[in-house]
Structure formats: C-alpha cells, structure tokens
Structure 1
Amino acid sequence: MKRREFVRTAGGASAAVAASAGATGTAAAQEAEPDWPSGVTGGNLGEYQDARGESEVTVEVGAGSDGLAFAPTQLWVDTGTTITFEWTGNGGDHNVVTVEGEASLDSGDPVGEEGYTYEYEVTEEDAGITHYHCSPHDAVGMHGGIAVGEDVPTVETGGNTGWPENIAHVGVPLHAHWVGIAAILGIALTFVFTFYLLKYGESAHTGHGGAQ
C-alpha cells in the first residue's frame, strides 16, 4: 500500500463528508421565523407559514376541529401581498380585527357564513408584526399574527439553539453538536474503509482475500 495514495484517497473522502455535514449545520442554524408576541403564539392551532415570494395567500377563518382558529395562525409575507381571509362556516360568527401592530385589519361585524371573504393588501406601511384576533372569541384563543417585510425581529428555530421549549419539536432541528459528531464518525469510518480497500483490494467486511 502506498502511503501517498492512502492519504490522498482518504483525505478527499473525509473532506467531502465534513463539507456535507458543515453545510447541513449551517443551513439548520440559519432557519428563523418572526419573533411573535405572546398573544400570537398563544393562539389556537399554532400553524406557521412563510409565504414570502407569493403574491396571494389565504387564511382560513374558523379553522381547527372546533372552528376557533386562524390557519395559518402565523403568516410571514412581503409587501404587496394580498391576504384573503376566508370563512369556513365553523365555530360561529367571526371577524378579523387588529389588536396591535401596523396593519389595520378590520373585517367588520362578525360573520358565520361559509365562503365569506375579507381581502387585505399589505403595503409598506404595514411593515412589522401585527397581532390580530376574532373579537367574539378573544377569550378562547382565536388569535393570529402577520409579519410583513424583511425588517422584522426574528428568532432561530434550528441550529444550536439547544433543547426546544416545545417537547413536540424534539428531533426536528438538527443541532450543531450532533452534526459535528456525525462528521467525526464519518471521517473515521472513511479512513478505515480506505485502508482496507487499498491494502487488501476489497472491503473490510469481506475478509482478507486480496494479495498482501
């Protein structure tokens, strides 16, 4: 076995493993979503959608098993996007009204008719995070949020943020320390495999059938 050949082959494979793992860790670390106020995160359903890049998006009014939620509950859009609030007909009479924030949402009196819609075109004046609710069902958690534009406060949802606050999210983010461990194991296994391949001409799993 030639030492240079071994180093060259194993080194190239190891670099590929490390680069792949590093890229995965970086991508995970860059995942973020708007830093929603507690009134929004406490809303029923809790469904989040990043709709940046879309010119139109629909929010269900009266979503969820009991019809007392907005879906998506948390929405991130660009300026110029048209948001259509569409009533499902479930959960009684609803409306859409701003609690706090820049967007002036106001669909009027509560309505229970299925298929009823209220459209709101987002402008630059709406930039930021807006918390809204259904006024008849405020006390039971029918709240939602809209983030507009790129200049909004965000929080990391992936990478090395540690153990997630919501136990249901365990295993979803790929934490940086696990990426590092996987990279080290991958490099070690690559060296072992390359050693056997160059020395014996076959895999370590097939025995020493090659010439020495």
Structure 2
Amino acid sequence: MKRREFVRTAGGTTAAVAASAGATGTAAAQEVQPDWPSATNGNVGSYLDARGQDSVTVSVGAGDSGLAFDPTQLWVDPGTTITWEWTGSGGAHNVQAVEGGGPASLDSGDPVDQEGYTYEYEVTEEDAGITHYHCVPHTAVGMHAGLAVGGDVPTVETGGANTGWPEDIADVGMPIHAHWVGLSAGFGIVLTMVFTFYMLKYGESAHTGHGGSR
C-alpha cells in the first residue's frame, strides 16, 4: 500500500472512531424526567418513575439522619395508591403539601414518630401536575419531596438511564456510559496513530525510513 493511500485510510478510521463515540454518548443522554422545582430535591434526591404501577411506597424518615423521603421525587399515573411508611428515625414526621405547591391535597395530620405508621393517598385526575410537599417539623432542614401525576407535566432530559455499571463511577462528572465510550475512543485513536507510524516507517519497503531507496 502506498504511503498516501495508507494515511488517508488511517485518517478515515480515526475520524470514524471519534464520530461513533460522539453519537453513542449523545444517545446515552436521553432520559426524561418531570421538571421538578429545585426545592423538591430534598436530602436524598432519589427518583422513581412508577408509572404503570398500581401502588408504591415512600419511606418517611429515610437517609442517614432520618430526615428525608425516599424516593424523594415520584412520578405516577392517576389511580395509583401511594403509601407513606414511617421508619421511626429522625423524630416525628408528617406529610403535607406546601402551601401553593401544587394540586395534590397531601396531609397526613399531626407529626408522628411511630415506626410502621402509614398514610395512604390515591391520586386522581384532579392531582395531575407536580406537587411539592414536605415534613412540617423538618422543613427548615430540607425534608422536602415532589410528586408528579400523569403524562401532562413539564419534562426535561437528564443524564441517561443506568446501564448496569456501578453508579458511583458516574461521580467523575459525566454520564457513565459516555465516560467509558470516551476512553475506548481515545485508545482507538492512539492505536491507529501507532500503527500508522509503524507502517510508514517499515511497511512499504525494506529501505523505507533508512534514507530512501538505493
């Protein structure tokens, strides 16, 4: 193979590897979530898309200090029954919609600290939208959460679904799938460059790289 032909081939291969990595990374970043008010992140910040489920349970008094709801942000269909279940940690809690925080009329009553205590609420079409709720005694320390009901809610694209890799690796600051694809693409580019150098130096003739032909 002539040098110029090989360089063109190698260059095309390198570009293809980079383009493939970029396309894969873009495809990984395609998860849609409700556009939550920032205050609903709470102290745990967990999210569950429970659409299609008839019932779901939310822990009250979750987290290391017992001052969180888990899942913190929940998306359900009308007709779903939500059960808030107390863990007994973090003191006395309740579930109450923030004033002006949305359509769902959540109110479990006075705060309690009894482990296993439950509060049930069946969402209806009237609850459609996003509701911000909290624990009244611990609102100042961030015990907040969000409830989204139905498909007609504002949404945003987030960093992509978990692909089975350990979640903590994503803490490097980029979507985990794109992270590994980027490393693979970089390795492929370096390997192509090394192979190109070798072929240019030794691949054309026995005298290539040693002062030309004689």
Please, what TM-score do these two structures have when normalized by structure 2? 0.67
Q: Distance in 2 between matches of 1:48 and 1:142?
A: 15
2:39 corresponds to? 39
Q: In the alignment, is residue 27 of structure 1 matched against residue 17 of structure 2?
A: no
1:9 Cα deviation after fit? 9.3
> Does the C-alpha gap of structure 1 residues 188 and 141 become closer, same or farther in structure 2, counting only changes over 3 Å?
closer
Unpaired runs of 5+ residues, structure 1, are 160-168
Q: String of CA shifts for 1:139-170, please: whole Å, max 9, x gaps.
A: 332211111223222334339xxxxxxxxx86
Larger Rg: 2
1:64 Cα deviation after fit? 1.9
Q: Does the aligned pair in 2 maintain the 1:14–1:187 contact within 8 Å?
A: no
Q: Distance in 2 between matches of 1:144 and 1:153?
A: 17
Q: Distance in 1 between matches of 2:80 and 2:10?
A: 52
Cα RMSD (Å):
4.0
2:19 partner letter: A
1:120 partner letter: Y
> Does the C-alpha gap of structure 1 residues 181 and 157 become closer, same or farther in structure 2, counting only changes over 3 Å?
same
SS at match of 1:93: coil
Q: Distance in 1 between matches of 2:55 and 2:205?
A: 67
| 1:16-165 correspondence to structure 2 within 5 Å | 18-28=19-29, 30-41=30-41, 43-99=42-98, 100-158=101-159
Q: Does the aligned pair in 2 maintain the 1:63–1:71 contact within 8 Å?
A: yes
Q: String of CA shifts for 1:64-121, please: whole Å, max 9, x gaps.
A: 2222211122222233332211110112222111112111212222222111111222
| 1:128-207 correspondence to structure 2 within 5 Å | 128-158=129-159, 171-174=172-175, 185=186, 188-189=189-190, 192=193
Unpaired runs of 5+ residues, structure 2, are 161-169, 207-214
Q: Percent identity?
A: 56
Q: Distance in 2 between matches of 1:87 and 1:19?
A: 48
Q: Does the aligned pair in 2 maintain the 1:21–1:179 contact within 8 Å?
A: no
Q: Distance in 2 between matches of 1:80 and 1:14?
A: 51
Deviation larger for 71-80 or 129-138: 71-80
> Does the C-alpha gap of structure 1 residues 187 and 38 become closer, same or farther in structure 2, counting only changes over 3 Å?
closer
Please, what TM-score do these two structures have when normalized by structure 1? 0.67
Q: String of CA shifts for 1:159-209, please: whole Å, max 9, x gaps.
A: 9xxxxxxxxx8634349x989987985774575477589x69xxx9xxx59
SS at match of 1:139: helix
Q: Does the aligned pair in 1 maintain the 2:31–2:159 contact within 8 Å?
A: yes
2:90 partner letter: G
Deviation larger for 44-53 or 4-13: 4-13
1:78 partner letter: D
